[in-house]
């Protein structure tokens, strides 16, 4: 059985007041905001939890592979197809 893995970019707004996905921007990146501050990895942890909940996968299936210290993140999600991601967030660049 082949393992599926999907990569996509996220533009994260920490201290955004609420944890939510706001859609896809003009560059094809997912826009998200979290209430957590960008201190001690709290915003990144909140983002991983948010994406896992949105995609109905375990938190361990969502990994931050680049951009830990910036607003632009590269996320890898295992166990979900590119088609499922594209259906959920039309316009996302995979």
Topology (CATH) of 5-88: Conserved Hypothetical Protein Mth637; Chain: A; (3.30.1200)
Domain range list for the chain = 5-88
Q: Is pLDDT above 90 for 2? A: no
**pLDDT given at position 59:** 97
Name residues whose C-beta falls within 8 Å of residue 92's C-beta, 6 or more positions apart in sequence: 8, 24, 28, 29, 30, 85, 86
Beta bridge mates, 30: 10, 24
Predicted TM-score (pTM) of the model is 0.93
The mean pLDDT value for 38-67 works out to: 96
Residues 22-51: tens digit of each pLDDT: 999 999 999 999 999 999 999 999 999 999
Mean pLDDT of the chain: 94
Q: Is pLDDT above 80 for 3? A: no
């Amino acid at each position: 059985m082949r393992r599926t893995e999907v990569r996509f970019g996220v533009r994260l707004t920490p201290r955004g007041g609420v944890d939510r996905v706001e859609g896809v921007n003009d560059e094809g990146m997912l826009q998200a905001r979290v209430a957590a501050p960008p201190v001690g990895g709290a915003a990144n942890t909140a983002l991983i939890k948010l994406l896992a909940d949105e995609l109905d996968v375990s938190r361990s299936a969502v990994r931050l592979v680049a951009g830990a210290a910036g607003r632009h993140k590269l996320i890898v999600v295992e166990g979900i197809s590119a088609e499922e991601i594209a259906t959920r967030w039309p316009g996302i660049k995979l």
